[in-house]
Structure 1
């Protein structure tokens, strides 16, 4: 069993932090110490201690790779002392029936936090206690006879109670340390993201985050539709939305070769994917892979994703982020549907969204619809659905007859008929211009 150490390296009692309820001392049962073969079990453990400690260490090194990878000096010193002290403390549990109290459990939590800081996996830390307990149980029960059954059961009860509290203490300390570390790590990464989006040199922020600046980033502006669960009556919408965002973030991390920087909400957001190649070295294959990743992200998070992307060196991320935000808005306004878009994919719509008299004239064509948002949304959905009224109705969650009615109404008000092929280019351009002008229009209130 692995017990915590003091700062000087001397053994300290096992301990951890679980709160008053869990940390309260178990009352002594008043029963005599469990015996087997006429000998108290705790005495047998003390007698076997010189052989028991090496046996436990051998099991740790054989069965837990994290301990086998420790420096030999640490194993011979700290880990050996901790193992011996853990056994001695379990001896007291067997002798008295008293489980570890709050002070002792707090020290176990502190020791577990140190293991977390060293990068030892949680399963290895918990496993060390269990392997030690197994070795102790094997030795003390080796000579048990049928008449010893009540004592065996009492020893087992004390062993399980001990492991229950110790395991909880280990997990508490470990998770507490990892949450603190992850919190600091996340703050540093968000500071790096903010610095990249502000422009200027991000090197100092990258150093604080412990991340090397890559030759380039793929800058993604993501618009995320709702997960089907978000639309179900009686379902907690915020829970479904958070699950969607969590899956999206996890898949970005899993698929990235480096550490992605993200700022995501239920409606989408921004992501920077580090690349090992400078911007000039990125080719068609890289964009094909990114397109496949966007499709995978949509499947994983269960939502429709419209993603605009551009490549930039670290000092060009701020400008790239502004560009992809505009490209995403243009692609969405043009009803281009889900998938990956670059500036080259929306050159006409992007240019039409720039200020000027031509844009003002195009936007004016849809001015009669300014007070009818359902008509504008229907025109966009009709385009995104490839001019299929049934698919448009599915997107809008209305009856196809409703789509027909709205399209006829929009035609009557604007003179542009989406069912007439000659009007489609003008209608598409007018939508891009109208939405661009609307974004620049000051809001009231």
Structure 2
């Protein structure tokens, strides 16, 4: 404070003028700050209340020189948390600066004779104090918000891993900025033995312009990726941050509320991936359907029936019989043709048709394995789900 603080009469006049000054400050914000004009009406109203509370706090500060501004209780008033959430620090500092300028413009009309310089110095010093205090509030909020977000993120990831259909999930996800994020997929692998897995995964996801949530469950690292332009490239980069062993990529879904299925498939794939030592990293959960089905995953077994067995059965024209013959003959087309009493070109045509229907190539080792497992499981079912 200056050597001669504003008189009590000046402070009373400032109190009476606080409403008009705050209204003028908000009008200046609307004129000078393009981003302020884009705020919703309720947030603009908060700013007006805060501006008026700031002027009242200035009066109290002048009455008690040397006391730091009580920013949270006096200045931000009823909406500290909301303002910090929706407004970055730079914007808040702009608001403080502009409000101080408006108060300075009113000094001569408010101050009693002989108090002009004292009030102007008080406004300048107070605005500096508020700017410093604002930075402290934002820093404290960021620390608290970081801890809260970490807990909320853990709850969301845990719900996806457990397959819960909680009504609270959309709200929790929205609080983390995932309201409209799409597409979404889940990666599962081993947690790294050293380092901060959360931080490393976040850096990797940011490098791919992705939203991300991370959870560690026992020895599993579960990563939810959202908004990737190239899901494959993003998964490849993030997979580098997992521990040794397979990393499984769940199916891509269009929203977070559907990501429980992606997580279930990725987790089932991770449990079964040891049966395919040569799997790529990351490997898609759908590429592990044979291993998942043999490991007892009913969703994988149903998927093989729907994607492989039913299309082959419905194709007619000897397609299913030809696939069986080629599998039994180890991929030898000529031997298969002789066994079926058809020309080798007929075998080739039917195999192309089978590939179109199932996406699997009977003469490729991996495709042959997938077809073989699907057909064997269907046979073991006794045809109950297939023929009826």
Q: TM-score under structure 1 normalisation?
A: 0.45
Q: Which has the higher contact order (CA 8 A, sep 6+)?
A: 1
Q: TM-score under structure 2 normalisation?
A: 0.50
